[in-house]
């Protein structure tokens, strides 16, 4: 275990390299499984823990809690990255996986809103924060640990196994959810069966800790410590000195930000788009995503291997470029093949909201306290909930909003100041009139399973996953190669988790809020497209290829 990875050659190779890759990857799969259970069950989480608000607000609130875990990931990167550079890689990610596993297990035991009121979502958010902190320390440790064991010229291939773990963790969460759902039935699963996947995390935690305890510390880190070349202030060296901080910023804006939005668009946003926008039932949507992940995941290894041959940068940049060019046609294609009735209704019976612009709110209410009761907000809330595309037309100041569905015109109403019973009666009447109008216009309440083109929908989702593998497969090796051993854990973790935790993690929430505000079900795609385009420009102009960088202590 004393050999040091060196691009120019090695004096020997650790006998347990395969075990290192396997153990690091397996533990990280379980950690991602824990983290993504919440996202996979966002719709049920909304009903269980954010009751008391309308379903649209509850779902956005649930997405905000989901995003809370991403928000703190950079802080976890700072805390655990520093520990990893001072103490070691192995023991640091033993701590992180323990925090993650216990937090996830507790979610499975947590009483819901109906049982303990506001305490339920508060505790849930706190657990999500712990998960985010743990994940912030896990990934950098696993990627660094594997890269520092990797043979010369094979860092892309070896670290690509770590790159599969996020997708495999999502895949595992979907499979466990599907098995539990189909075994118990939808009603039981929605009531209490959703807790089972969270409770299983305790078993996965025990397996992960047992395997990782058998590993030794990274040989590169051991040699650095033996020679007394370790950093005494990794945070200062990483972010307090411009020569290294410059590389951190380039890694963020020229690599990880674009990689992150492509990753989350291809997997989570695609899943939410199927269920929330196209109204495909959750079981079918999960099958689609799981199948695309199953077929597409080997491409992580392919692109990791290819990056050892032709370079990391050109593969990552190509993935970002394809995302920028193809996202709109691909998602429109998914609508065409997965819910053709919705596409036909949008074309033949366009909907327009005619309202005073000053009366229309940006209906984004993460704390669930605001009431959207203007005639404009009431109309748009109905349309957003039904995934009805609409255009906006300005009306005179003070005018009551109207909704035009084809040739039919329906008046909304002002709900502010109305007694509860009258508000309820008017809401029911408006909902009934709107439901009749959009139904007559051909807008489906749910996607018709008989009309879904399963093959083409699957192929488009697989294409999105392949873009994920292009940007994500080589990036661990590239980030590790950018920084010296003494501050590698700290330096690479922060840009990775700002990119993935903030730019990527907030994507579903921001994109769906953009859709609700604009009325265009595809408008949210501008968020990943703009970020991917930024990374493409910065990456092409300022990021240098790293595959031939040396990995010895420097």
Helix (H) or strand (E) holding 313: helix 312-338
Q: Length of the chain in residues, anyone?
A: 554
Sign of CA dihedral 146, 150, 153, 158: negative
pLDDT at 314: 95
What does the alpha-carbon distance between residue 308 and residue 152 come to, in Å, rounded to a whole number?
Answer: 10
Distances (CA, A) of 505 to 50, 122, 261, 301, 343: 20, 20, 8, 24, 29
| Per-residue DSSP letter, 252 | I
Residue 28: how many CA atoms within 13 Å on its side-chain side? 30
pLDDT at 2: 35
Strands, sheet with 402-405, edge to edge from the N-terminal-most edge strand: 390-394, 351-355, 402-405, 408-411
3-state secondary structure 1-30: CCCCCCCCCCCCCCCCHHHHHHHHHHHHHH
Kindly tell me the burial class for residue 86, based on how many C-beta atoms sit within 10 Å of its own C-beta (0-12, 13-18, 19 or more).
middle
pLDDT at 329: 97
What does the alpha-carbon distance between residue 291 and residue 202 come to, in Å, rounded to a whole number?
Answer: 26
Residues forming beta bridges with residue 353, ordered by sequence position: 392, 403
Record the pTM.
Answer: 0.81
480 φ/ψ angles, rounded to the nearest 5 degrees: -60, -40
Rounded to the nearest 10 degrees, the angle between the axes of helix 155-184 and helix 282-296 is 160
What does the alpha-carbon distance between residue 355 and residue 191 come to, in Å, rounded to a whole number?
Answer: 40
Answer for the pair 396, 376: CB distance below 8 angstroms, yes or no: no
403 φ/ψ angles, rounded to the nearest 5 degrees: -120, 125
Distances (CA, A) of 6 to 12, 154, 361: 10, 11, 58
User: For 486-526, how does the pLDDT look when each residue is reduced to its tens digit (9 = 90+)?
Assistant: 788 888 888 888 888 788 877 877 887 788 778 888 999 99
pLDDT at 547: 85
Closest alpha carbon to 30 in 152, 198, 188, 244 = 198
| Per-residue DSSP letter, 151 | P
Residues forming beta bridges with residue 168, ordered by sequence position: none
Task: Name the stretches of the chain with pLDDT < 70.
Answer: 1-15, 35, 51-60, 63, 218, 227, 229-231, 362-371, 550-554
Tokens representing 70 are 């991403």
What does the alpha-carbon distance between residue 506 and residue 504 come to, in Å, rounded to a whole number?
Answer: 6
Cα 266 off chain centre by: 9
pLDDT at 41: 81
Answer for the pair 87, 234: CB distance below 8 angstroms, yes or no: no
pLDDT at 301: 95
Answer for the pair 377, 519: CB distance below 8 angstroms, yes or no: no
The single residue listed with the structure tokens 């019973």 is: 421
The single residue listed with the structure tokens 């950690």 is: 31
Domains of the chain: 17-339+449-542 (1.20.1250.20), 344-440 (3.40.30)
Answer for the pair 285, 339: CB distance below 8 angstroms, yes or no: no
Answer for the pair 141, 82: CB distance below 8 angstroms, yes or no: no
pLDDT at 370: 56
What does the alpha-carbon distance between residue 516 and residue 378 come to, in Å, rounded to a whole number?
Answer: 12
| Per-residue DSSP letter, 169 | H
């Amino acid at each position: 275990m004393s050999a040091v990875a060196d691009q120019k050659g090695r004096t020997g190779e650790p006998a347990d390299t395969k075990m290192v890759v396997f153990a690091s990857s397996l533990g990280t799969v379980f950690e991602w499984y824990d983290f993504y259970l919440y996202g996979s069950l966002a719709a049920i989480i909304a009903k269980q823990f954010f009751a008391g608000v309308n379903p649209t607000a509850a779902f956005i609130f649930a997405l905000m809690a989901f995003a809370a875990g991403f928000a703190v990931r950079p802080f976890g990167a700072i805390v655990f990255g520093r520990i990893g550079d001072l103490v070691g890689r192995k023991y640091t990610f033993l701590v992180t996986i323990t925090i993650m596993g216990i937090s996830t297990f507790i979610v499975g035991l947590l009483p819901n809103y109906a049982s303990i009121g506001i305490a339920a979502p508060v505790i849930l958010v706190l657990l999500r924060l712990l998960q985010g902190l743990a994940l912030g320390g896990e990934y950098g440790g696993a990627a660094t640990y594997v890269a520092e064991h990797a043979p010369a010229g094979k860092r892309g291939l070896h670290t690509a196994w770590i790159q599969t773990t996020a997708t495999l963790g999502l895949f595992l969460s979907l499979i466990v959810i599907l098995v539990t759902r189909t075994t118990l039935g939808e009603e039981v699963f929605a009531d209490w069966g959703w807790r089972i996947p969270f409770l299983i995390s305790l078993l996965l935690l025990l397996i992960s800790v047992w395997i990782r305890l058998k590993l030794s510390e990274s040989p590169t880190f051991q040699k650095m410590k033996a020679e007394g070349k370790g950093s005494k202030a990794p945070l200062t060296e990483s972010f307090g000195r411009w020569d290294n901080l410059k590389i951190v910023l380039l890694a963020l804006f020229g690599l990880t930000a674009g990689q992150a939005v492509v990753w989350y668009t291809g997997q989570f946003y695609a899943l939410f788009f199927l269920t929330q926008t196209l109204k495909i039932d959750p079981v079918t949507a999960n099958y689609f995503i799981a199948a695309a992940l199953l077929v597409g995941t080997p491409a992580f290894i392919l692109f990791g291997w290819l990056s050892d041959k032709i370079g990391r940068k050109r593969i990552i940049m190509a993935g970002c470029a394809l995302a920028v060019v193809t996202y709109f046609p691909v998602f429109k294609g998914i609508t065409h093949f997965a819910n053709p009735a919705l596409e036909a209704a949008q074309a033949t019976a366009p909907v327009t909201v005619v309202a005073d612009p000053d009366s229309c709110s940006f209906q984004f209410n993460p704390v669930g306290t605001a009431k959207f009761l203007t005639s404009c907000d009431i109309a748009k809330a109905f349309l957003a909930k039904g995934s009805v595309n609409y255009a906006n037309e300005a009306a005179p100041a003070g005018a009551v909003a109207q909704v035009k569905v084809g040739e039919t015109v329906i008046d909304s109403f002002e709900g502010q100041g109305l007694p509860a019973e009258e508000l309820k009666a008017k809401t029911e009447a408006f909902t009934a009139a709107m439901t009749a109008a959009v139904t007559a216009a051909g807008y489906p309440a749910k996607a018709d399973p008989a009309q879904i083109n399963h093959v083409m929908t699957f192929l488009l989702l697989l294409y999105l996953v392949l873009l994920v593998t292009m940007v994500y497969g080589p990036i661990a090796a590239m980030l590790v190669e950018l920084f010296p051993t003494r501050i590698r854990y700290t330096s690479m973790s922060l840009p990775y988790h700002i990119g993935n935790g903030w730019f990527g993690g907030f994507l579903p929430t921001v994109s769906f809020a953009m859709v609700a505000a604009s009325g265009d079900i595809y408008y949210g795609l501008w968020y990943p497209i703009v970020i991917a385009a930024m990374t493409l420009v910065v990456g092409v102009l300022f990021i240098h290829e790293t595959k031939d960088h040396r990995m010895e202590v420097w």
